[in-house]
């Protein structure tokens, strides 16, 4: 894989590890990760080109019943990183994976956003942006996967540039993350025509099946919903993360 075809460019190993660790933790909270989920997480690890120490932390987040304190440490790292906006966007996509984004789920996402220092205006814009982006992705998946359209071009076409800027959100930084929206498409593009395998779980073959033939064909068929939740959540939506978030934030109320 060339250096140009990586995710999370420009961020430190610590930031990448915290971001992917938080995603892996939420996606597999309170249950054992499936083979497909582990394969996808390995693809994220490889495409982010992070250190082996950070990779081990992410694998632990996906395969072990990690302590709530570990998840909180991931979030603490992201408090000072622009990846906090990408994570909030991912979690919104995750929450609406079952096409039933309830007020209770939204409150949990708001608690994460508040913990990360994302203010009310920023959360509102991210919520609106993410729901719009997820709805539009199926129509542009093939263009992005074949590089006929760039991810930034796709996001710009949604008309949120000024809203994001006015809310103090760097759109370029947001687009480097947002794995819950177009992550699977980017991974399919990265590995297509490049070296296959390279991870302990045979990433190339997994991507060909899940991302190339399975996930993308579903997208092109007009399936809506959060991509991260659809793949990592197995269609279960945000439910499996509810227990962890409930323990983390308990009776914590939003500062809004």
Per-residue pLDDT reduced to its tens digit, 110-167:
888 999 999 999 999 999 999 898 888 888 888 887 888 888 888 888 999 999 999 9
Whether the per-residue pLDDT at 255 is higher than 90: the answer is: no
Provide the domain limits for residue 99: 13-249
Per-residue pLDDT reduced to its tens digit, 80-94:
999 999 999 988 887
**Structural domain includes residue 255:** no
φ, ψ for residue 253, nearest 5 deg: -100, 150
Residue 134 is inside which H or E element, if any? helix 120-145
Q: Taking Cα atoms as reference points, which of 51, 43, 52, 53 lies closest to residue 11?
A: 51
**Structural domain includes residue 6:** no
Mapped to the 3 state alphabet, what secondary structure does 66-92 carry?
A: CCHHHHHHHHHHHCCCCHHHHHHHHHH
At 17, the pLDDT band (50, 70, 90 cuts) reads very high
Mapped to the 3 state alphabet, what secondary structure does 187-252 carry?
A: HHHHHCCCCCCCCCCCHHHHHHHHHHHHHHHHHHCCCCCCHHHHHHCCCCCCHHHHHHHHHHHCCC
**Structural domain includes residue 5:** no
Report how far Cα 57 is from the mean position of its chain's Cα atoms.
17
Q: Is the dihedral of CA 52, 88, 135, 125 positive or negative?
A: negative
**Structural domain includes residue 8:** no
**Cα 58 to Cα 144: distance, rounded to the nearest angstrom:** 27
Whether the per-residue pLDDT at 194 is higher than 80: the answer is: no
Burial class (CB in 10 A: 0-12, 13-18, 19+), 104: exposed
**Structural domain includes residue 254:** no
**Structural domain includes residue 2:** no
**Cα 105 to Cα 109: distance, rounded to the nearest angstrom:** 6
**Structural domain includes residue 121:** yes
CB neighbour list of residue 42: distance below 8 Å, 6 or more residues apart = 199, 200, 201, 203, 206
Average pLDDT over residues 95-104: 74
Q: How many structural domains are present in the chain? A: 1
**Cα 109 to Cα 243: distance, rounded to the nearest angstrom:** 13
* pTM for this model (two decimals): 0.78
**Structural domain includes residue 166:** yes
């Amino acid at each position: 894989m060339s250096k140009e075809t990586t995710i999370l460019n420009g961020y430190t190993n610590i930031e990448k590890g915290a971001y992917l660790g938080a995603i892996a933790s939420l996606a597999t909270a309170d249950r054992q990760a499936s083979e497909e989920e582990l394969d996808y997480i390995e693809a994220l690890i490889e495409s982010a080109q992070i250190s082996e120490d950070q990779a081990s932390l992410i694998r632990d987040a996906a395969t072990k019943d990690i302590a709530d304190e570990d998840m909180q440490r991931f979030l603490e790292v992201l408090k000072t990183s622009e990846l906090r906006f990408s994570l909030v966007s991912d979690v919104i996509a995750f929450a609406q994976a079952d096409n039933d984004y309830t007020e209770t789920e939204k409150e949990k996402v708001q608690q994460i956003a508040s913990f990360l220092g994302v203010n009310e205006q920023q959360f509102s814009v991210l919520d609106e942006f993410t729901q719009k982006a997820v709805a539009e992705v199926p129509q542009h998946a093939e263009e992005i996967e074949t590089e006929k359209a760039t991810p930034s071009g796709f996001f710009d076409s949604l008309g949120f540039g000024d809203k994001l800027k006015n809310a103090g959100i760097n759109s370029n930084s947001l687009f480097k993350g947002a794995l819950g929206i177009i992550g699977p498409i980017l991974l399919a593009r990265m590995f297509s025509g490049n070296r296959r395998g390279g991870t302990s779980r045979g990433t190339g073959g997994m991507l060909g099946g899940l991302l190339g033939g399975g996930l993308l064909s579903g997208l092109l068929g007009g399936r809506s919903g959060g991509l991260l939740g659809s793949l990592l959540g197995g269609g279960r939506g945000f439910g499996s993360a509810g227990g962890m978030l409930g323990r983390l934030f308990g009776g914590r109320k939003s500062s809004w």
